[in-house]
Structure 1
Amino acid sequence: MRTPEFDGVFKTAAELGLPIWLHPVFDDRKPDNNIVFSWEYELTQAMRELVVGGVFQRYPDLKIIVHHAGAMVPFFAGRINAIMTPGQSADFHKFYVDTAILGNTAALNLTVDYFGTDHVLFGTDAPFGILPVGASSKIAIAIEHLPLSTAEKAQILFSNANQLLALSSNS
């Protein structure tokens, strides 16, 4: 599905090197809208629509950051590879994702394995999950327990965001 009404946004973001954040919202029209499962399904569907719509093919420099560790994508990598075209399967790896899954080290390890260390950014989902400030400490502990080098953990904790967002040249 191609959505030409967003092409201007994608084109401009790609040209300026600015990332786009993809995050779900509450939708009171849906009886099953919840922050436990429905958001991850909706994020995964949105990612699929972007890939099938050829967004990364038209804008190869586009950077899209997906909340919640890329939702269901890392867990269904085999299905993606088996059912979708090789180009579409490759396009799923172009997304950037955050670590906002409430500190699940095993899930974060799968996320890093799928997207690569350079495409994972520290994220907390604050204030959701654990009130009042989110799950920052739980997520930091989960990252610490990942089987990664100190340099790779630093990438996830701050270097990737610094680079992607052009926050500073010092890391």
Structure 2
Amino acid sequence: MNPSIGRRVVDVHAHFAPLTSSSSTGPDPWISRDGSATAVWYHGSHVDSLVREVVDPTILIAGEEAIGIQEAVLSPWVALLPQTEDPNLAEAACQRLNAAMAETVAREPRLSAMAAVPMIEPARAIRVLTEARAGGLTGVEIVPTVAGEFVGGERFEEFWASVAETRTPVFIHPSSKGMGIDALQGGYLWNSVGNPVETAIVGAQLVLSGLVERYPDLRIILAHAGGVLPSVFGRIDHSFSVRPEPKSRLSHEPSWSFRRLFYDTIAHGERELAALLAAVGPSQLLFGTDHPFDMGDYDQLTGLESLGLDPVALEAILGGTAARLFGLAAVQA
């Protein structure tokens, strides 16, 4: 039996690109169409990792429904997040993107969306996020690093204090660059290894910096089931027991904070997902697919049933927790 039957299923890891341009002479993404198929180009190259619809919301939600998903919380395709260090350019790019995302979801009650913010200046990020939320967006997507600095650093404290106060969900997605490590550039390692390592670093930094302890209302969601972070929970706890450095900013062992983060379900393996469930509990998991990329997991609904979850826990993972965090209204059938 498909476990989505009779239950609310919300995809919290679904990317969208509100692109309309059919040609480009610069590095910005653009699209071309061949009948009903959409192709995306970036820096002059075809993005062949896109295996599902990314620019047409009607086709996107139809594709989600075809695999048992009723709703999606869209996040911008990471390539669209501003990479410039110029605060003015970054702010303008985020505002354009947020306006397009808000316009898209306003037409489709089964879709909601997260904002982009210029993290290069945390005060600007707060202002842009406030505008975006007033315009109907329900959360924010950020990448782990800004100009080479991980976002758990002290410079970003103002941002974290603000999103904790407003209880805004923050979805942290790897930057998909392989962290600039040459050894990750072959064999698709920048994605299969680099992305989960990047997520693990930022998750560990947020916890070891004491941010999660200081701001108990933070709603941080780590992509790809936390990357490789869950595999080192025990090792990080051990460092707390034997070294003074982790104790300098923490009152509890790190796993106490790891159990307060949220994680999507894209673990690419029932064993890995079961281990994450055992470590943090079903209340911290949110269903996600990584739509529309080739590294997405589109067959999880049946696999989740094999984990032996009780109905309440399963319903929370599939959509209940997402509805609570993002403030999603019930969608009428």
Coarse TM-score class (shorter-chain normalised): 0.7 to 0.9
Residue number among 102, 107, 111 corresponding to 2:276 in the alignment: 111
* Contact 1:68–1:97, Cα closer than 8 Å, also in 2: yes
Q: 3-state DSSP class of the match of 1:97?
A: strand
* Contact 1:43–1:66, Cα closer than 8 Å, also in 2: yes
User: Is 1:81 aligned with 2:232?
Assistant: no
Residue 16 to residue 169, structure 1, CA distance change in 2 (3 Å): farther
* Contact 2:176–2:194, Cα closer than 8 Å, also in 1: no
2:171 is matched with which residue? Answer: 21
Structure 1 runs, 4 residues or longer, greater than 6 Å off: none
Q: Which has the higher helix share?
A: 1
2:289 is matched with which residue? Answer: 124
User: Is 1:5 aligned with 2:5?
Assistant: no
2:181 is matched with which residue? Answer: 30
Q: 3-state DSSP class of the match of 2:192?
A: coil
Structure with larger Rg: 2
2:208 is matched with which residue? Answer: 52
* Contact 1:20–1:63, Cα closer than 8 Å, also in 2: yes
1:41 is matched with which residue? Answer: 197
* Contact 2:282–2:316, Cα closer than 8 Å, also in 1: yes
Post-superposition Cα deviations, 1:43-71, rounded to whole Å, max 9, x if no partner, equal 11111111121111221211100011122
Alpha-carbon distance in 2 for matches of 1:93, 1:151:
19
Number of residue equivalences: 165
| TM-score when normalising by structure 1 | 0.86
* Contact 2:175–2:195, Cα closer than 8 Å, also in 1: yes
Residue number among 131, 134, 149 corresponding to 2:310 in the alignment: 149
| TM-score when normalising by structure 2 | 0.46
Alpha-carbon distance in 2 for matches of 1:52, 1:80:
9
Q: What is the aligned-residue identity percentage?
A: 28
Q: RMSD over aligned Cα, in angstroms?
A: 2.1
1:71 is matched with which residue? Answer: 227
Q: Which amino acid aligns with 1:42?
A: E
Alpha-carbon distance in 2 for matches of 1:89, 1:155:
22
2:76 is matched with which residue? Answer: none
Residue number among 128, 135, 153 corresponding to 2:297 in the alignment: 135
Q: Which amino acid aligns with 1:144?
A: E
* Contact 1:101–1:139, Cα closer than 8 Å, also in 2: no
Q: Which amino acid aligns with 1:91?
A: S
Alpha-carbon distance in 2 for matches of 1:9, 1:141:
38
